Copies of this chain bind each other. A is one copy, B any other.
């Protein structure tokens, strides 16, 4: 045989096969493919799904009957458009049959929880003050909030998604979360045991970037900067979240910015990003400047200067990341009154001036449209992805 006759691999599908594949895995893949297609577009007939997925009508029918048996898909009557041929039976995900429970543990003092629809809409929400609880007390507070939210659900719960600050591994163990006083806290396993529901625990910034991807119309490569009590990042490359070898990807709060020192940080270093950009630092600086200002105009100018400098610092630290990953889309999440103005303008300006113009010409930086629910919705995406393969 000739060399050119050497076989092509499924390289486009998965770079290297890491496990054997059996016929039943085919079924799972195609089943999920159909579910995903239905989830994204909604209201389609079996024939539509066949055309969209490339499967035959026969196979789609078979998969749909399986999904209907599990109450995941329902028929919604016949299509009304006047067309030749037998009218199509419209299908959709049974969007009201299940609900998702999400918790956001990233608030410095207050934990939030919500019941969400399968579409990611917040149906009801509640909160609980952490009241300085740490360690096991913090866990108890989380469990109490979770019980509250579960009780508020009005349909079977598909699963529980939780966005936690700190370093969270793939098994949902919170390796380190200083604010909650947790080290190696097996939150996912404990809550799964406690509730009997499927639970997924992820880092809050990673949850946020998933929400932006699924509900914010973001592209496959996306960097989300979450500014709050601390500063963290969530990174999506090729539609996949990046976790890092020690699950600490996105932990850029304590990376030093620039070569001219800067404010002292709680971690002991000078000029960390968090020392420039965290909400407490910014509000304190603005407060001080406003108090010292002679006129309202002076105060406004001083405020703008502070935000511009913070934005510039963010741009300085992001420039190498944007260059190395060739990122085109950056999203900011946090208080819009701080981020959405002089700060983000300075960040874009700094990024453009410090990277190759030809590559960053179409770089976009914007605020998230998800508002404060971004972590809750991202945690719901994790549940959808884990339970249905859909997102």
Contact = CB atoms under 8 A, between A and B. Distances in A.
A353 B267 CA distance: 12
A19 to B, nearest CB: 7
A6 B246 contact: no
A3 interface: yes
A101 to B, nearest CB: 10
Contacts of A159: 3, 6
Interface in A125-180: 156-159, 176
B17 A246 contact: no
Given A10-B28, A26-B26, A235 B325 contact: yes
Contacts of A359: 246, 248, 251
B21 A246 contact: no
A245 interface: yes
Q: How many copies does the complex hold?
A: 2
Contact of A20 (B54, B252, B353): B54
Interface stretch (A102-110, A236-244, A338-346, A369-377): A236-244
Contacts of A328: 245-246
Contact of A319 (B9, B36, B256): B256
Contacts of A6: 70, 72, 98, 158-159, 198, 387-388
A250 B324 contact: yes
Nearest to A99: B3
Interface residues of A, number: 101
A99 to B, nearest CB: 9
A246 B98 CA distance: 40
Interface string A301-337: 0000000000000001111110111111000000000
A391 interface: yes
Nearest to A3: B156
A29 B54 contact: no
A249 interface: yes
A326 B247 contact: yes
Interface in A29-70: 29-33, 36, 53-55, 70
Given A55-B20, A259-B259, A387-B8, A324 B326 contact: no
B239 A385 contact: no
Q: Which of A159, A255, A320 has the most CB of B within 10 A?
A: A320
A296 interface: no
Interface in A202-246: 219-221, 223, 233, 235, 237-240, 242-246
Contacts of A327: 244-245
Given A20-B55, A30-B21, A267 B356 contact: yes
Nearest to A170: B12
Contacts of A248: 326, 356, 359
A11 B246 contact: no
B25 A254 contact: no
A227 to B, nearest CB: 15
B20 A23 contact: no
Contact of A386 (B9, B237, B244): B9
8 tightest A-B CB contacts, nearest first: A244-B326, A9-B389, A258-B259, A256-B354, A3-B156, A249-B326, A255-B323, A248-B326
17 contacts: A3-B157, A6-B70, A7-B31, A8-B387, A9-B387, A11-B386, A15-B385, A17-B29, A18-B33, A20-B53, A21-B30, A219-B245, A237-B242, A244-B325, A255-B354, A320-B320, A320-B321
